[in-house]
Amino acid sequence: MEFSSKLLENAVYEMSQLPGIGKRTALRLVLHLLKQPNERTVNLSSALLNLKDSIKFCKNCHNISDVVLCEICANPKRDRTLVCVVEDIRDVMALENTGQYKGLYHVLDGKISPMEGIGPQDLNIHSLVDKAKQGEIKELIFALSSTMEGDTTNFYIYKQLEGLDIKTSTIARGIAVGDELEYADEITLGRSILNRIPFEGSLKAN
């Protein structure tokens, strides 16, 4: 792509460094900003810079938070003996949206991935094990994605907890509610039949 202006080229380059944004999309976004009032660009830039400068993480669950303890951890109504281990804050938001979970979270901020050079020390695993050793947690729910990396991470944490009196569980994998059986992939269908639940249990969930 040949640009008529270095400033434009630079803005498009920086924009195209975002994931899933190619050069063409970047150009479209930049030209859109150019057509908008100045404050649009100023607001976007300052919002990003402010976030990056002042970002804080909850000292208990590592969720992004403006205060020392996030709303969830600070809420006395939440069950402190139940901790759900998730990959990033988007998972917290997704689970909170269901309104079904009343425990706390622990955000790992990624998965163990030798391919990407991410080891256990790069994640918030140490603080999780520390918390577990303090004895308040009764159950740990693994809600990582069911990929090789997710399974590795689950297993690593599981091994770290050995000897502690903590129940561990993973979220149920199975056919999505409303999905047709015939279109489900074989692994999911297989797991859903192996991990079948009592019929009365399925009634309770609704």
Site for its own copies, rule CB under 8 A: 1-8, 10-11, 13-15, 17-21, 25, 27-34, 38, 40-52, 54-56, 58, 63-66, 70-72, 88-90, 92-93, 96-97
In whole angstroms, what is the distance from residue 51 CA to residue 62 CA?
Answer: 16
H-helix segments, the chain: 6-15, 23-35, 38-54, 71-74, 89-98, 126-133, 148-160, 186-194, 199-204
* CB closer to its own copies, 14 vs 136: 14
CB 62 within 8 A of CB 109: yes
The nearest distance, CB 94 to its own copies, in angstroms, is: 10
Q: How far is the CB of 66 from its own copies (least distance, A)?
A: 5
* Backbone angles phi and psi of 156, in degrees to 5: -60, -50
CA 81 to chain centre: 21
Closest to its own copies by CB, 26 vs 140, is 26
Of the pair 51, 197, the CB lying nearest its own copies is at 51
Q: 50: how many CB neighbours lie within 10 A of its CB? A: 10
In the complex, minimum distance from the CB of residue 129 to its own copies, in angstroms, rounded to a whole number: 23
Q: Angle, to 10 degrees, between the axis of helix 38-54 and the axis of helix 23-35?
A: 120
Min dist CB 164 to its own copies, Å, is: 28
Q: Report the nearest approach of its own copies to the CB of residue 98 (Å).
A: 12
Q: Residues, the chain, total?
A: 206
* Residue number, 61 or 132, with CB nearest to its own copies: 61
Q: Which is nearer to its own copies, 50 or 145 (CB)?
A: 50
